Structures are given as C-alpha cells and as structure tokens.
Amino acid sequence: MTKLVKTADLYDCQVPYLKDLFDSCEYPWEMLPKIKGHILALIEAGLPDFTELKPGVWVGKDVKIADYVTIEAPAIIGHGTEIRPGAYIRGSVITGANCVLGNSSEFKNCILLDRVQCPHYNYVGDSVLGNKAHMGAGSICSNLKSDGKPVVIHGDEDIVTGLRKIGGILADYADAGCGCVINPGTVIGKRTTIYPLTALRGVYPADCIVKATNTVVERKENA
C-alpha cells in the first residue's frame, strides 16, 4: 500500500479562495506557515459575499455562530458553516463551506476544506483537513513533539519538514474515531477510517481501516 503525502494526492480543493494556495504547495504542511499571510491577502483584496464580523474576521452567508464562541483574527469562515457553543478559533483559521466547528473545540492555524466536521471537544492546530474529513468526539491533532524538534514525516521515505509545529494532515473523507490522538505530522489518506482510541503516527494509505496504531487493513469494496 503506497503512502501518499503530496497535496495533489490527498486533496481535491474546490474552494475558490484556497485553490491557489493548494496548487502552489507540493506538500500540505508547506501551507501552514502561509495561512496567516494568505488570509490577510484575501481580506485586503476583498471577499465578495462575505461579511466583516469584526476587524480581521470575515464570515460567509448563512454562517451560524452560537453563544460563547471566541473568534480571533485573522479568520475566514466559509458559507453555511456552524460554530457551536464554546468553540475557540484562535486565529489564522480558514474554512470552506458547510463545516462544523464543535462545542468546546479549539482551532489554530489550520485549513478546513468543505464539509469538515469537528463536532465535539476537538483540538485542531497546525493542521489541514480535507473535504468531508471527520474527527470523532475528543479526537485531537497534537502539533508539537515532546522534544520540541522539527517534525519528520515518516512515509515510504522520511521527509524533514523543518517545522516544529505540524498537527494532522487528513485527506479528503478521512475519518478519525472518538478519542484518537493524531501525533505530530501524521498523514491519513483519502477515505481511510480510524478506529476509536487509536494513537496515530506516520503515514496511513488511502482506502484503509486502521484498527490500532500498527494494524492497518485494506478496505474491501462494499465493506
């Protein structure tokens, strides 16, 4: 099973204000240092059909923001997105359309493509989540190694990123079950499902079921 890590292999980005960023980065973690600047450039250029909620924070049409939500600039929240009670958007966050940013969840320096769901008690820092990616209740993206050293992506070959902070790289339709810990620099392939309470590290291929950290089986058709 091939462990794909390039942006084009993991994501089909159709978000108009993100497509250029995705097309310009060979690897998804290369986008992380660029998120803030990208948001500021979009705001400077103007965002049709978006409304300025407060300085540096722009929201699309039909966005639902519950009570006790904190949104720090800069941030762009896509059309139809729901932000549930107690969510903390800590800045440098940009989402596509129809996402769910859940209750008591925290988001920091991250990209969420269309229809991402992080509905309950999640931490998503320095991460990229693909179309319709899902994180179960209590799942987190750990973004800093215990030794503080730069993150290395352990795929078919090791890639030294030079970045101290990388959380989870979840491809389109990736699904992490409840209580998962996605360790720094973990890549989860397209349509791969993770069993609950799994500690993840390394690169997981597309179309797999991860039953435990090192127990990976290929998804059978119609399974």
User: What is the per-residue pLDDT for 151?
Assistant: 97
User: What is the per-residue pLDDT for 3?
Assistant: 87
Q: What is the dihedral of CA 7, 12, 13, 14, to 10 degrees?
A: 160
Residue range(s) defining the domain that contains residue 214: 7-218
For the chain, how many structural domains are there in total?
Answer: 1
Question: Sign of torsion, CA 50 52 56 59?
Answer: negative
74 preceded by cis ω (within 30°)?
yes
CATH classification of the domain holding 104: 2.160.10.10
User: What's the DSSP call for residue 142?
Assistant: -
User: Beta strand pairing status for 152-154 and 158-160?
Assistant: antiparallel
User: What is the per-residue pLDDT for 219?
Assistant: 87
3-state DSSP assignment of residue 218 = strand
Q: Average pLDDT of each block of 10 consecutive residues along the chain (223 residues)?
A: 91 97 98 98 96 97 97 98 98 98 98 98 98 98 95 93 98 98 97 97 96 90 57
Q: pTM for the complete prediction?
A: 0.96
Structural domain contains residue 207: yes
